[in-house]
Amino acid sequence: AQSVAQPEDQVNVAEGNPLTVKCTYSVSGNPYLFWYVQYPNRGLQFLLKYITGDNLVKGSYGFEAEFNKSQTSFHLKKPSALVSDSALYFCAARGGYSTLTFGKGTMLLVSP
Amino acid sequence: DTAVSQTPKYLVTQMGNDKSIKCEQNLGHDTMYWYKQDSKKFLKIMFSYNNKELIINETVPNRFSPKSPDKAHLNLHINSLELGDSAVYFCASSRGDRPLSYEQYFGPGTRLTVT
């Protein structure tokens, strides 16, 4: 069975500092990896995805993610955090013929 | 323009009642999904339809029945509501279920409270 782990329930960072939200996955075959963001009382919004090719993927709002096959990781990063980035972030993965599996989410809090 | 819309946004009802949630997408997508998000924010897929045909039916009580009148709509009907059904239900759509690389677009959610 496939799985997605987000080891941190919450990440705290000061505005202007770099941020990293961690994600590791386990899927069969080639992985298709996604990051979504959920603002309070809103639906999930797609940020970026990894299909194949460059290990560094760039997405919306200045976010990027680094795919590491040997560590089966897909960490979300941003060079300079904004207070408005505060939200719940979900990593998701699928492979083979499986459905999309989501991690439990990581709350990002950016302080002014 | 709203890409994926759901109605109602809030639904409060008593145990034993039957209720429906409607979902519509105007993205021209072929595949639609229903997800359940529990109180701990854990997100789990319930159903998936591709061109009006059911392709995924996860372990969900048969009190839940999806219906897709056309590929732009996927409604969720719930019979005999139970306290444990209280959650936020999200509709989503994507261009297709294959290839696996298609991202999904989510509606705003319907918060169901069963009392």
* Contact yes or no for B103 and A42 at CB 8 A: no
Could you tell me the pLDDT band of residue B85, with boundaries at 50, 70 and 90?
A: very high
Per-residue model confidence as pLDDT tens digits over B30-68: 999 999 999 999 999 998 988 888 877 777 899 999 999
d(CA B44, CA B63): 17
Chain A contact for B42 (CB, 8 A cutoff): yes
Put simply, whether A44 touches B (Cβ < 8 Å) is yes
Percent of chain A residues past pLDDT 70, beyond the cut? 100
pLDDT digits (tens, 9 = 90+) for A99-109: 889 999 999 99
CB contact under 8 A, B103 and A45: no
Contact (Cβ atoms closer than 8 angstroms) between residue B43 and residue A90: yes
Contacts of A46 in chain B (CB under 8 A): 103-105
**Integer Cα distance of B96 and B101 in angstroms:** 9
Q: Across the interface, do A41 and B103 touch by the CB < 8 Å criterion?
A: no
